[in-house]
Amino acid sequence: MDITRYAVRSARYVIERYHRLGLDGLKDGRRDNQGAPRVLTAEEQQVLAAQLHADFERGVVWEGKRLQEWIREQFGKEVYLGRTYEFMRAAGFTPQKPRPQHVKGDPAAKEAFKTKS
């Protein structure tokens, strides 16, 4: 395995694919992999973006959980919470919650550090 730099397990996998599929088994299959299907269609994404922008103009700020419920009600689709933030970014929005602070954080030390920098 020193010649190919493959681990024994990986080399066995390649050999097995070659025996099963011939030369096609040695090709890089990533080129033909289109990935997972989209959760929302282009039209649904446009409706979502329009809703987010309309609510933003009225001063309503959305969060991931609320968007998750809205997608379930509007389109009948279940999405993971992490995907809702992807949809918000695609519509031009970013999460607006501040990052959590450490429980043992010392505000005085933080201010002292700011003045030194």
Task: Please indicate, yes or no, if residue 110 is contained in any of the structural domains.
Answer: no
In angstroms, the CA 70 to CA 83 distance is: 13
Task: Please indicate, yes or no, if residue 105 is contained in any of the structural domains.
Answer: no
Digit-coded pLDDT (tens) for 74-108: 999 999 998 999 999 999 987 666 777 787 888 88
DSSP for 14-41, please give it: HHHHHHHHGGGGGS-GGGG---SPPSS-
Q: How many domains does the chain have?
A: 2
48-63 mean pLDDT: 92
Mark whether 56 and 85 lie in a shared domain. Answer: yes
Structure tokens at 91: 């519509």
The pLDDT, as a whole number, for residue 117 is 52
Task: Please indicate, yes or no, if residue 35 is contained in any of the structural domains.
Answer: no
CA 96 to chain centre: 17
Q: CB under 8 Å to 45, separation ≥6 — which residues? A: 87, 90, 91
CA nearest 63: which of 89, 100, 97, 90? 97
pTM of the model: 0.57
Q: How confident is the model at residue 52 (pLDDT cuts 50, 70, 90)?
A: very high
Residue 24, domain extent: 1-28
Mark whether 17 and 55 lie in a shared domain. Answer: no
Residues in the chain: 117
Buried b (16+ CB within 10 A) or exposed e, 79-101: beeebbbebbeebebeeeeeeee
53: three-class secondary structure by DSSP: helix
Residue position matching structure tokens 């919650």: 97
